[in-house]
Structure 1
Amino acid sequence: MISSLQNLLAGRVDVCVVGSGPVGLALGIALARSGLSVALLESGGKAISEKTNRLAAAASISTSHHAEASLTIRRAVGGTSKAWGGRCVEFDDSDFDGRPARGDARWPIEHSALRAYYDDARTFLGAELPDVGKPGVEMPDMDGDFEPSIESWAREPDMAKAHGALIESLPNLHLVTQATVIGLDLDREGARTKRLMVWHRGKLHSLGATIFVLACGGRENARLLLAAQEIAPRLFGGVDGPLGRYYMGHLAGELARIRFTDRSFMEKMFFRRNGTGAWFRSRLIPSIALQNERDLLNSVFWLRSPPLEEVYAAPGARATLNLFKALTGRRKMRRMSFKARVSDTASLSDMVANPVQSFNAALQLTTSALKSERQPNFFVKNGEHLYWLAYHGEQRPVASNRVRLSSEVDETGLKRLAVSFDFDEEDLASLIRCHHALAEWIGKRRIGTFEWLHPEDGLQTAVRRQALDGYHQIGLTRMGASPRSSVVDGNCRCHDLANLYVAGSSVFPVSGQANPTLPAVALALRLADHLKGELRG
């Protein structure tokens, strides 16, 4: 339920969770449902406020490959799910093995420990998987170097909308808005967190709890811990320790396209819907054997609609496309293909002169437009069987990719972050090697023709030009077995503070190929079970 901070100050809750994004909500709801009392502190309100979002603005960002900091978060109930597309992807077993490219980054838990919570996480996110293998849910037939990877999409990506009624109904879940945590109050020995310092409606308060969990996004988790380290320098390995380092995201973009000859394979790569109404589709990932053989980081590929003028290039089809644009408006056209730059040179006379082209184009465009109202991505099928190949690639953990406290402060007095972030040459080179392996595999399997979108000597430049992250915020408070190389242990507890935990993608020691939301929620549900055991002895 929505609560007043004043009502919580006099008492003491079992768990205080900072942040009400997908991770914080999943954790808070799971704990409250078990009977524990939970304070859920949200810096924003029910709606997004530009003023509140600016609290997360960075003092500086070292590169153009990192998005503006205040654009990569949403300080409001529901957090970044208010801007989330809804894609849910599991980690792969290969993300949990040790390999030289990842340095000393190791998960201290097995993938099975996380896999046990994927189904519950998908249910929470409204992105359940169908029973793979049943009629209508067949995966593409693959063997050898590439394997199928399945993604599902949340029916309602905004978790505040999806769970609003439940939040209101839980009497022991106390959601407080406009409550910005700006510091930790530690005990005299610096071994436990006594209280959180909370900025609320222009005043500073302190709130106690038995256990505290930071779930306010990767950079903000690190920011609060860095502020604590500034007061107690020995924490988290000191200034040269792992805190705030190993900042990761993903490489994303397109380098190639496929002209399919195997129609059955192609159609199994399209969006389909399960019995609950959630969309799903298959993607391509390199096998563990191929990753080891060619020294590849993990990556994944899926189909994306090409620019519409590429599909509808014939005169009659181009004229129909221009008419469709005029009738439906540019906003729908942008949804149909965000890369479309449609020319207006074709005319109605071209439609009359090419009636078959015009009719086929009109039928495809109209069908796709109607489906687009329900699909997570506007996907235009085309008679050429030509689709761009989107990629999502792993970034290596590098210590120089980091955040630090600057001398600039926000309006609450908390120091802003200085961000140093870039992709290195091996990140790019590995992704290109994986494309080459996929091209070979597609040719051997006679699936279709693999076509580069750029000259081969310009591939690395093309990957770098498209490289942009700052949204996934991985690695800044990473999990590990040793406090010398990690911030939290296998249960997400800070090595140095017995009752302080961190939740979210910032604890992932590697980025893998997966978007982080589903694994982060699964890890939060695992943490909920751990905390129940801790609090109940």
Structure 2
Amino acid sequence: MTIASELPKDGRSFDVCIAGAGPAGLAVALECEARGLSIIMIEAGGLQPRSTGLVSEATDILDKLRHGQMNVVTRQALGGTSWAWGGECIPFDRIDFEPRDHVPHSGWPIGYKDIAAWHGAAAKFLACGSPNFFRALSGWEDLASCNVDHIGRFSTSSNLANRYRNRLERSPNILLCVGKTVTGIEMDVSGSTVSGLNIRNSLGGATETQKARFFVLAGGGVRTTHLLLNLQRSFPHLLGGDSGPLGRYYMGHIAGEISTIVFNDPKDSVDFLFQPDSRKVYALRRIKIKEGVQKREGLLNTAFMLRNPAIGDHRHMNGALSLINLCLSNPLTGQRFFSRRLSSHSNVPPSPQRWKHVGNTLRAPMRTVKDIKMILQQFLQETKIPVLIGNNAGRYTLRYHAEQVPNPESRIRLADQFDRFGEPTLKIDFRFTDQDARSVLRAHEILDHELRMTGRGYLDYWYPLKERLAAIMDIATDGYHQAGTTRMKTDPQEGVVDESCRVHQIRNLYIASSSVFPTTGSANPTFSIVAFALRLAAHLSGVQV
């Protein structure tokens, strides 16, 4: 089999039909193939991403400040959102699976061990090296409330289309059909089994039906939810109707920067910068609030990472950053030579105090040359890690990345309008809560206290105390991490899928997406999406229908 633009004309059935060829769809397909199953993949995009598509055209975002536009947060193409993925691989923590009194609607029907068994396979699939995400840091054992042993690992081949296209083309058991959009789910007369997926050309045309034993929706959280909402409109008894869990609890992460972390000894920061191993896999240390402290303080899971200080702030005393600032100050060179990977964390505009930046550049010219060389080397690699270089002042932007509380009023629903193909459009009502923001601020306060008590440093806030909560909410936006709308729960009244990711009340329909996550933790979702997809493929290979 191969990559094609048309469905098979002989009406043949496959073991598995997968809607979507992003990280989740690819992982399910390749693992099913390894287990002897035949697979057809349906991808709305082509071999390269395009800026518009069905999801973006058929979606009304009610609060555009809170949720990114669909043509920004999604990609329709072989490889899906891996075209935009930064490559960071991080698993869930043990606490993420537990019911927590201070996190309403928390708790998974499975535990950490159930998915940790797939971490090794996910790490191999995503090319992020060893599945070891803990690295002890000697000398920091005196921290009572914080943990600095967690690391995120970065894929050396984050574009999955490039990584797996040749394998798909050589596969005897996988057929990838591009430019085809799944428009509906066809049920048999019992209403409990999917008989086929309705498919048409992404630009229009007649609808065809593809049959299989199993069907996997892997087209992203929003699109997967859209298909199920359409199905629910035809079968109102499914998934609790409009008051049920489908489309509710839409969440991602609350992230941003409100402070600078200052190390009293600048050398202490070295272990928190990007560190490559012998295989040139980069890892970045994360500062976490310990799980016991989270429970005691009623906090949502939060991680902190270092980023470059504001390039325009000469106090960083780094010659390379000052040189970049000087270039950014020049309209002829700023946009031409420097990308957002360098300037995205420049929360202070390029400084007019040029002589101080010139002084930084000349203070240690050999160090400046070394850092510029490192920056250029990182740009030449496929790894999309943000450029982060050490500085003699021990000053860094502190980025936070935290979970949201599951909120049933944050949701996706069908609208009363229809798109140009006659399909109901979507309304996205994506919300952050006060609990999200207050938890982030309290986590900062705990870290600041810990740094001061141990003499390690302190946080230099960018806003007065009374303005910090508002600042966190002002910059809160997501839509990249589409979680919660088909959440995993044992009870069909509380969730959409069971512990095997099978849709409740339907024998052969499964979901491979972060939309099944009941909570999001502090981790970026791609690594866990792939781990769950591989676990799902193993499950399918042992099911009889």
TM-score category, normalised to shorter length: over 0.9
Say whether the 8 Å CA contact 1:214–1:503 is kept in structure 2.
Answer: yes
Match of 2:432 among 416, 423, 437: 423
1:145 aligns with 2:151: no
List aligned pairs for 1:434-449, cutoff 5 A.
434-449=443-458
Task: Tell me: CA distance 1:236–1:333, structure 2 relative to 1, closer, same or farther (3 Å).
Answer: closer
Deviations 1:415-464 (A, max 9, x none): 12101111011111111111111111111222112211211111101101
1:512 aligns with 2:521: yes
Query: Shift of residue 356 of structure 1?
Result: 4.8
Say whether the 8 Å CA contact 2:316–2:394 is kept in structure 1.
Answer: no
Task: Tell me: CA distance 1:56–1:160, structure 2 relative to 1, closer, same or farther (3 Å).
Answer: farther
The residue aligned with 2:540 is: 531
Rounded Cα–Cα distance in structure 1 between residues aligned with 2:368 and 2:519: 46
Rounded Cα–Cα distance in structure 1 between residues aligned with 2:225 and 2:319: 56
The residue aligned with 2:115 is: 114
Query: Shift of residue 175 of structure 1?
Result: 0.5
Task: Tell me: CA distance 1:32–1:382, structure 2 relative to 1, closer, same or farther (3 Å).
Answer: same
Rounded Cα–Cα distance in structure 2 between residues aligned with 1:263 and 1:438: 17
Rounded Cα–Cα distance in structure 1 between residues aligned with 2:356 and 2:193: 77
Aligned-partner residue type, residue 19 of structure 1: G
The residue aligned with 1:307 is: 310
Aligned-partner residue type, residue 444 of structure 1: M
Aligned-partner residue type, residue 37 of structure 1: S
Rounded Cα–Cα distance in structure 1 between residues aligned with 2:318 and 2:119: 49
Match of 2:412 among 403, 406, 409: 403
Give structure 1 stretches of 5+ with no counterpart: none
Deviations 1:262-308 (A, max 9, x none): 45542111101123322111111111110011110101001010111
Query: Shift of residue 370 of structure 1?
Result: 2.9
1:250 aligns with 2:249: no
The residue aligned with 2:503 is: 494
Rounded Cα–Cα distance in structure 1 between residues aligned with 2:357 and 2:291: 51
Give SS of 1:239's match.
helix
Rounded Cα–Cα distance in structure 1 between residues aligned with 2:496 and 2:360: 65
Rounded Cα–Cα distance in structure 1 between residues aligned with 2:464 and 2:366: 32
Say whether the 8 Å CA contact 1:61–1:419 is kept in structure 2.
Answer: yes
Say whether the 8 Å CA contact 2:361–2:368 is kept in structure 1.
Answer: no
Say whether the 8 Å CA contact 2:317–2:391 is kept in structure 1.
Answer: no
Aligned-partner residue type, residue 311 of structure 2: L
TM-score, scaled to structure 2: 0.91
Deviations 1:300-347 (A, max 9, x none): 001010111214577999975555555964341643232435547456
Match of 2:376 among 370, 380, 398: 370
Match of 1:296 among 295, 299, 324: 299
1:188 aligns with 2:197: no
Say whether the 8 Å CA contact 1:140–1:282 is kept in structure 2.
Answer: no
Task: Tell me: CA distance 1:48–1:296, structure 2 relative to 1, closer, same or farther (3 Å).
Answer: same
Aligned-partner residue type, residue 39 of structure 1: I
Rounded Cα–Cα distance in structure 2 between residues aligned with 1:333 and 1:20: 29
Rounded Cα–Cα distance in structure 2 between residues aligned with 1:212 and 1:444: 55
Give structure 2 stretches of 5+ with no counterpart: none
Query: Shift of residue 53 of structure 1?
Result: 5.3
Pairwise CA RMSD of aligned residues? 2.6
Query: Shift of residue 203 of structure 1?
Result: 1.8
TM-score, scaled to structure 1: 0.93
1:212 aligns with 2:215: yes
Task: Tell me: CA distance 1:455–1:160, structure 2 relative to 1, closer, same or farther (3 Å).
Answer: same
Aligned-partner residue type, residue 376 of structure 2: L
Say whether the 8 Å CA contact 1:487–1:495 is kept in structure 2.
Answer: yes
Rounded Cα–Cα distance in structure 2 between residues aligned with 1:380 and 1:360: 14
List aligned pairs for 1:157-176, cutoff 5 A.
157-176=158-177
Deviations 1:48-93 (A, max 9, x none): 2234355554134235211112321111110011111111111001
The residue aligned with 1:460 is: 469
1:235 aligns with 2:244: no
The residue aligned with 2:344 is: 338
